[in-house]
């Protein structure tokens, strides 16, 4: 997150003058459970990538996936959908 502005620096009327700057607004800090991917079990079916509502599953060229923790809110849909149980939800702050 960039430096927070003071009230004197804000644009009039709550306007955000720069389009698309929401990508810099990281929303992954509310997470209570963190999905952890075991790459050795992954079969590259991409169901996690399809179902993630954020989307916080990054798909690579070879269809392997990675979790984007900057935006993942820990909903657990990916872990629930994974047919080979390659994703487990672990408490944040734990291991």
Partner 1 sequence: MAAVTRVKGQRRVGMTGDEAVAYAVKQADVDVIAAYPITPQTIIVERLAEYVNNGELNAAFIPVESEHSALSTCVGASLAGARVFTATASQGLALMYEILWIASSMRTTIVMALANRALSAPINIHCSHDDAYAARDTGWIQFFAENVQEAYDLTIQAFKIAEDKRVLLPTIINLDGFILSHSLEGLYVLSDDDVRKFLPPKEPVNPIDVERPMTYGPLALYDYYYEFKRAQAEAMKNSYPVILEVFKEYERISGRRYAPVKEYGMEDAEVAMVILGSSAGTARYVARRMRERGEKVGVLSLTLYRPFPEKEIVERLRGVKAAIIMDRSYSFGSPGAQLFMDIAAALYNEGERPLLINAIYGLGGRDLTPDQVEAAFRAAFEAAKTGVVKERELWLGVR
φ, ψ (nearest 5 deg) of residue 94: -85, -140
Q: Does 92 help bind partner 1 (rule: CB under 8 A)?
A: no
Q: Does 24 help bind partner 1 (rule: CB under 8 A)?
A: no
Report the candidate in 49, 27, 70, 79 with the shortest Cα–Cα distance to residue 90: 79
Candidate ranges 7-15, 43-51, 65-73, 82-90; the one touching partner 1 (CB under 8 A)? 7-15
Is 6 or 40 the residue whose CB approaches partner 1 more closely? 6
Q: Does 93 help bind partner 1 (rule: CB under 8 A)?
A: no
The residue within the footprint of partner 1, chosen from 2, 12, 61, 93 (CB under 8 A), is 12
* CB 8 to partner 1: min, Å: 7
Exposed, middle or buried: residue 7 (CB in 10 Å: 0-12, 13-18, 19+)? exposed
Report the candidate in 34, 26, 40 with the shortest Cα–Cα distance to residue 79: 34
Residues that bind partner 1 (CB under 8 A): 4-8, 10-19
């Amino acid at each position: 997150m960039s430096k927070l502005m003071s009230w004197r620096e804000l644009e009039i009327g709550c306007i955000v003058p720069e389009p698309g700057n929401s990508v810099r607004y990281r929303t992954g800090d509310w997470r209570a459970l963190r999905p952890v991917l075991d790459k050795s079990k992954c079969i590259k079916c991409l169901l996690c990538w399809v179902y993630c509502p954020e989307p916080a599953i990054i798909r690579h060229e070879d269809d392997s996936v990675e979790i984007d923790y900057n935006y993942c809110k820990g909903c657990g849909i990916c872990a629930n959908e994974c047919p080979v149980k390659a994703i487990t939800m672990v408490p944040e702050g734990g291991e």
